[in-house]
Amino acid sequence: MGRNSVAAADKIQSKMGEGTFGQVLECWDRERKEMVAIKIVRGIKKYHEAAMIEIEMLQQLGKHDKGGNRCVQIRNWFDYRNHICIVFEKLGPSLYDFLRNNNYRSFPIDLVRDIGRQLLECVAFMHDLRLIHTDLKPENILLVSPECVKVPDYKGTSRFPKGSSYFKRLPKSSAIKVIDFGSTTYERQDQTYIVSTRHYRAPEVILGMGWSYPCDIWSVGCILVELCTGEALFQTHENLEHLAMMERVLGPLHQHMLKRVDRRAEKYVRRGRLDWPDGAASRESMRAVLKLPRLQNLIMQHVDHSAGDLIHLLQGLLRYDPIDRLTAREALRHPFFSGDNKFRR
Ligand SMILES: Nc1ncnc2c1ncn2[C@@H]1O[C@H](COP(=O)(O)OP(=O)(O)OP(=O)(O)O)[C@@H](O)[C@H]1O
């Protein structure tokens, strides 16, 4: 692909993101006369290789796009002094940044519906191409526009720090795009290495049972709950505690799954059941699990209408056995998505 000098075509404006991989800069593209986001990857072999995979995936996704696949578009890429630079269309803040800047106030149900639909459309498109994202999370879902509106928010203000306002911000448009295809992989049998960011990781990944497309669907389920409540569903850093949290919210893990765990996960199982609370690392850990409500109660605490449809959808997205979990196309046909839509894209 095209140009090979960062200076020739792009003027750096500001930093948009930073991570272990390198940084993302907001730049002015003088040729196309538009703002772009350029990801500049550290010149270390591991990151260089991951960036080349990301480019391949982005090109693959772009090739099959018939308009509106909801994956960020790659504009260009080049190697600048051994740093891979990927030029993207410029997008707005991530859903995570938006929630955080809004004191972790939840999104209204109509916005959750609209975002959920687009996210599932993206996942269905990827799965049709035999691609699995493997790292879906609010940080990797960006609003297309940074514009927002202020609306009154009287509900639950007691939960927020003193002085926090009676207004909350909402995105003006609900349009989103998915980013970060550095961990995207082709479907293959028997993939057992650990994928996904902890909070959004499916039970089959933790139990070492092998994973495939359904691991993305589990992540979508966790993301939709988070948008409804404002906070991550499974806030944990440890496998056994994570599995115990799942049981608390979704009911007992299936015995037939616990019989199929791999050697690394055997220690979490005793006599065909999860070794909990006996295996708990501390009292705080037990308390953190006990604090969690059942899925139905959690959703009903935050959602006033369409709660029944949403709970039913989430139960399908968060089924323990990946074989039973809804596919993205099945989820898109769920009655939750037939509801009215107030938000504009
Ligand atoms: N097209 C874009 N427009 C606007 N901001 C972007 C864009 N792409 C990335 N960013 C910002 O840069 C951050 C990092 O990008 P990205 O997630 O692709 O990198 P990464 O390699 O996955 O980083 P990490 O895995 O460490 O989170 C994003 O969270 C986002 O804030």
Domain end point (choices 68, 89, 110): 89
Report yes or no on 221 lying in a domain.
yes
pTM over 0.90: yes
Claim to verify: residue 83 and residue 26 sit in the same structural domain:
yes
Can you give the CATH number for the domain in which 184 is found? 1.10.510.10
Count the domains in the chain.
Answer: 2
Ligand 1 atom 28, closest CA: 17
Q: What is the pLDDT along the chain (345 residues), one digit of tens a residue?
A: 344 445 445 677 788 888 888 999 999 999 889 999 999 999 999 999 999 999 999 999 999 988 778 999 999 999 999 999 999 999 999 999 999 999 999 999 999 999 999 999 999 999 999 999 999 999 999 999 999 999 888 665 455 555 556 788 999 999 999 999 999 999 998 788 999 999 999 999 999 999 999 999 999 999 999 999 999 999 999 999 999 999 999 999 999 999 999 999 999 999 999 999 999 999 999 999 999 999 999 999 999 888 999 999 999 999 999 999 999 999 999 999 996 555 545
The residue from 46, 72, 89 where one domain ends is 89
Pair of tokens at residue 247: 């049981």
Measured in Å, residue 240 CA sits from the centre of ligand 1 at 30
Whether 289 is in a domain gets the answer: yes
Nearest CA to ligand 1 atom 27: 19
Q: Are residues 73 and 123 in the same domain?
A: no
Closest listed residue to residue 323, CA positions, set 273, 260, 263: 260
Asked if residue 201 and residue 128 are part of one domain, the reply reads: yes
Domain endpoint, select from 70, 89, 108: 89
Assign 3-class secondary structure to the chain: CCCCCHHHHEEEEEEEEEECCEEEEEEEECCCCEEEEEEEECCCHHHHHHHHHHHHHHHHHHHHCCCCCCECCEEEEEEECCEEEEEEECCCCEHHHHHHHCCCCCCCHHHHHHHHHHHHHHHHHHHHCCEECCCCCHHHEEECCCCEEEEECCCCHHHCCCCCCCEEEEECECCEEECCCCCCEECCCCECCCCCCHHHCCHHHHCCCCECCHHHHHHHHHHHHHHHHCCCCCCCCCHHHHHHHHHHHHCCCCHHHHCCCCHHHHHHEECCEECCCCCCCCHHHHHHHHCCCCHHHHHHHHCCCCHHHHHHHHHHHCCCCCCCCCCHHHHHCCHHHHCCCCCEC
Is 108 found in the same domain as 184?
yes
Tell me, yes or no, whether 279 and 157 share the same domain: yes
174 within 8 A of 111, measured Cβ to Cβ: yes
The answer on 108 and 10 residing in a single domain is no
Residue 279 lies in a domain: yes
Domain enclosing residue 321, as ranges? 95-338
The neighbour count for residue 310, using CB atoms within 10 Å, is 26
275 given a catalytic annotation: no
Domain match, 233 and 139 both: yes
Cα(149) to ligand 1 centroid in Å equals 24
| Ligand 1 centroid, distance to 17 Cα (angstroms) | 6
